[in-house]
Each structure stands twice: as structure tokens, then as C-alpha cells.
Amino acid sequence: MRTCVALLPDYASEGSDNIPLHKVGINNVPMWRDDFDGSRVLTNQAVYVSLDGHNGIHMSRLVEAIMEYDGDEITADDYLLEAIAASHEVDNAYWECKWNSMWELDGIQSIKFGCNLEGTKNDGNIEWYLTTVIPYASVCPCSAAMVKETHGIPHMQRATAKITGRIPNNVDLGELMVNTLISALDAVGLVPKPLMKRPDELEWCQQASSINLFVEDAARVVSSSICNMYPDYVVVCEHEESIHQHNAVAICRKGEKLL
């Protein structure tokens, strides 16, 4: 059936001398993809392009570009960034994919951690970044020292280590993600577990008594543990204080591009 769609006005495509915009696009796009271990996960995606010389963009084209990958494995695919940029005939494009992954701890239970894969295309230069958000626990060294002689109880903190690193060339993303997770958990020492019986809890607390980390300490040890994995990275450790209404944060970076 013939329609008159071709005769409808296209405001977005009209020329404009307005201020250029660095990023215009869409976010919070749900889509099923396969995790690095093959498991099916629900992702949350964002897609952007630069805008210069026109009133706006055609956002449906961005949706079409990522729908081609519906159900596929999550990968750092340069062709996806090229397709996003080509959809609007621009040189700059950005794609982000967020999801939660699981890692088996002891053959019985797993730990959940956040993942974020970002790709940027700027004037032909493509770079990829991986973010992992890793939960852990900490005992405050200050309170541990103060109550040592009085047999008191030091306060504990739930914590996260957010690691964003520029992905090296020719690296396996799944291995990089797992190695980052394991190295960070080994560095901080205390791993939250969904299931603990009383003997497990006793063992965990005995271990915790010997692992006391300020947020500054945590940022340093996590940074050291992943230093050789990424050419450029930022580590953000955050401790949820149990006796204050604020959180404690420490940031460590390598290189000059990320902060």
C-alpha cells in the first residue's frame, strides 16, 4: 500500500547552525544478551552519536543498530560502533551495556557483581572500557585498635570496589572480567556470602578480625592487584559506614585519561 510518509516533514534532518552537541541518543534500552560465560542476561543499553549541522537525530536508527545484536554474546565489537556512527553519517559514537553477572565462590553459592562495557568512537579512534562493581566487607582499623584492650566489638562496613579499565588489544573479555574479580576479592580478603551457617559465620568473623582496611587501604590494594591488567584504569572504593550517615570513598588511577 502506498503512503504519503515521504511527503511528511522531517524536522530532525533540517539544517541548523545551533550549538553542536557532543552526545545525543537513548538510554535504558532493555535487551537480552549472552554473558561472557554463555548465560543469558538482561542488559540495559545506551547509544549516542554527536550532532552538528542538524536540528536533531533519528533515534529509531539507534535502536535498529543495537537490535541487530539481540541475543548475541556481549563483546567489544568495533563494527557496532561503526554501524551506530554510520546511521547518522557522523564520526563519533558511544555504546554502553550494563548487566549483573554471577561468579561461583565455592561450588555451592555465587557472588553477584555489576558489569559495564563501554565503547567510544571519536574521529575514527575506537576504545573499549570494562567496569566491574565488586562487593566486599571491611572492618574499621580505627575501631578495631580502640576496642582491642577492652574486648569490644569493632564496627564493620559493607563496601564496593568499582574498577573501570581501558581494555587492552587482543584480550579475552571473559578472562579479563574474571581475573579482575578474583584479584580484587583476594586483595580485600572479605567476601560477602548469601548463605552462612553458624560454623561458617564463626570462621568468617575470625577471618574478619585479622583483616582491617580503611577505604584508603582498600583502594591501594585493589589498584595493586589489577595494575598489570589495564593500560589505564580508575579504582573507586566506597565503604558504607555503619556509625555515620556518610560513606567513605577513595580513588586511585593509572594513566591520565580516566578519572
DSSP string spanning 59-97? HHHHHHHHHTTTTSBP---HHHHHHHHHTTT-S-EEEEE
Amino acid, res. 253: R
**Cβ distance 49 to 87 under 8 Å?**
yes
In the prediction, which pLDDT does 105 show? 78
In the prediction, which pLDDT does 70 show? 93
In the prediction, which pLDDT does 146 show? 64
- The SS3 assignment for 157 reads strand
> Which residue numbers in the chain have pLDDT < 70?
1-17, 54, 140-147, 152-155, 204, 208, 255-259
Under CATH, what is the fold of the domain 132-259?
Answer: Urate Oxidase (3.10.270)
In the prediction, which pLDDT does 85 show? 93
In the prediction, which pLDDT does 225 show? 96
Q: Give residue-wise pLDDT tens across range 110-130.
A: 889 999 999 999 988 999 999
The C-alpha cell 561450588 sits at 107
In the prediction, which pLDDT does 126 show? 95
The Cα 233–Cα 227 span in angstroms is: 8
In the prediction, which pLDDT does 144 show? 63
Amino acid, res. 164: T
Residue 73: C-alpha distances to residues 14, 77, 155 (Å): 37, 10, 42
The class level of CATH for 20-123 reads alpha beta
- All CATH 3.10.270.10 domain ranges of the chain, comma separated, are 20-123, 132-259
Q: Which residues of 62-82 are buried (b: 16+ CB within 10 A; e: fewer)?
A: bbebbeebeeeebbbbeebbe
User: pTM for this one?
Assistant: 0.86
In the prediction, which pLDDT does 196 show? 73
Q: Which three cell numbers stand for residue 136?
A: 566486599
